[in-house]
Amino acid sequence: MPIPKIHPESRGQRHSLLIHCLQALLSLTILIAALLAHRAHAIETVHFTGDKVSLLPLLEFVSERNGETLDEILVRPEEDWHHRQNINNNLGQTSQPVWARVRLAGVSEAFGQPIVRLNYPHHDYVDFYLFERGRMIRHFSAGDQLPFDSRPIDQRTFWFPLDDASADEQEIYIRISTPGPLLMPLDLMSYKEAAEEEKLLYLWAGAFLGIIAIMALYNLFLYFSLTESSYILYVLYLLSAGVMQATMFGFGEQYFWGDRPGVNNQVIAFLAPFVQLTAMAFVLKFIDLKNFGSVLDRSVAYLMLFTLIVMSIASFTVPYSLIVKLGHSIALFGVVCALYIGIKGWVMGMKSARLFTIAWFAHLVFIGWYLLDMTGKIPATELGNHAFAIGFIAELSLLSIAFADKMNQEKELRINSQTKLLDMQVAMNQELDNKVKERTSALEKANRRLEELSVTDGLTKLFNRRYFDQVFRDHYEQSYKDQHPISVMMVDIDFFKKLNDNYGHAFGDLCLVRAAQLIRKVVTMPGAFAARYGGEEFVVVLPKTTEERAAQVGEILRSAFEKTTVTQGNQSKNMTISIGVACTIPSQPGLEEKLLSVADACLYQSKENGRNQVTRSEQLDEAG
């Protein structure tokens, strides 16, 4: 059969069609790759408006390789960085340091002092890097393995200031290296809001530790009165748990051993098993396991005691990370054992064991919550971080009742003593709470008053010269960034020295007060502010205002003064003012004094031309 011939034109058309298809496919592939690359390289941005923002949902993480430097981290491929699948503060325990990054926007425009707060006090090393326009502008180092005074802000957790931020956007990189749980409750907030939250924490911690201290003293008193060993074991349990929780709050590092790096980890490593040791010893004595328990029960209980003693001693040599992991497991097992012992005592007919069992069940629920929170099995929360303390208070309350029930079977006197002391405890707590509220309120009022006095002129109640110098510079720099005009009016009361000499200083002061009132009444534009510049001279700053508009405001102000009569007793006087107006669109920052000098020259020209008038910089140029 003859092979059909393919026409050359048909063959060329097919070849051309194939090339076009391949080109279209290649273009589509490049487009998709570009879109994916753009998406991969886009660091998440947090927009700060002044309210507290959790950074965790937008953080990107990467694990540090052995010996990896900051420069190497900065050039790590984008595919190495990843978000957490679950928004969980707890990243678990890891032997490698972890890096996190995020981009911030709006920080430089925020009012007050913006900070980044890592609200967990037990990381060995925390390095904070602030980048702006690809350049690192600040680096802070903190952590348990460094002296406490190395922290940028003196707080129990890690606060990093963002005062140096000046561009529209910044990038932060945080490196954390710690053998314990790696918690990342990272927030962007104002210093004031963080301080308010810290006050609430101190109130909560003070109430918690106050309850423990009162109950420890109470039970110590009962021990010396009744010589019952259960009480001294309970006191040891209370004190060790109280010190442990105070350490977990971060107070130990802040107030006691902050100048000795590493001690914080050692204290936690020792107290983690020791608290359980004192608890188990107390349980065995309270339930009287010798009479109620079987041989197996006693064997397990004494094995548990031996394990906890070994762990307490070994905590001085065994690595901290291992002690923490073992401590979590032993703590949960110990509470379960105590619960079992309580249930068995209940079944065996021990009446006081009923409340004891309920107390340890409550403790088991909360300590289970706390351990799951600390090991990252459930989403970490602020409440979960304090679950141990909450459970301990619940257990403490129920065990106090159990103690009373047990002692009621022996001596009626013990019940009466406990009731009186509990009433005293409630009254003391209420009194302490009232005093704290009163002193806190008084301190806040005093601070507000002090802040007002530091920026206000005592006579006129306008801003003072020091405040003007600071804020004028900020307004000038902002005008430079935005390329908006900024106007300045220098205002001087005409012949004020003569007025002072003829009418007296008291009348002169009254004129200054009245002058300030007129300035406040006339200058009402958004963003404008006035200050007493010195003696009878005032200065008014008008952002985003042209020289023509500023001169109009000056004319209104001059007319208002001319129509105003200051009267004191039988003395009265019409004041007039001379005004100099200057305006500029800043070409570079740092020239605010030059603008002020031009306005002052215009003021001088107004005086030279007969006073009671407004002179603009344009008129100054013409006169020159």
Catalytic residues: 536
Q: Evaluate whether 522 touches 556 at the Cβ level (below 8 Å).
A: yes
Classified as helix, coil or strand, 96 is: coil
- Could you give the CA distance from residue 402 to residue 361 in angstroms, rounded to a whole number? 13
Kindly report the backbone phi and psi dihedral angles of residue 188, in degrees, each rounded to the nearest multiple of 5, phi listed first. -105, 120
Q: Three-class SS of residue 301?
A: helix
Rounded to whole angstroms, the Cα distance separating 364 from 601 reads: 78
3-class secondary-structure state, position 143: coil
Q: What angle do CA 588, 589, 594 make, to 5 degrees?
A: 90
Instruction: Please state, as a whole number, how many other Cβ atoms lie within 10 Å of the Cβ of residue 195.
Output: 14
Cα–chain center distance at 142: 15
Pairwise CA distance, residues 324 & 389, whole Å = 18
Tokens of 373: 């929170």
Cα 384-388-394 angle, rounded to 5 deg:
110
DSSP state of 91: -
d(CA 186, CA 444): 27
Tokens found for residue 369: 């919550």
Residue with tokens 């503060």: 89
The three-point CA angle 400-405-411 to 5° equals 110
The answer to whether 119 and 157 have CB atoms below 8 angstroms apart is yes
Interior/surface letters 85-118, b for 16+ CB within 10 angstroms, e for the rest: eeebbbbebbeebbbbbbbbebbbebeeebbbbb
395 within 8 A of 367, measured Cβ to Cβ: no
Burial class (CB in 10 A: 0-12, 13-18, 19+), 137: middle
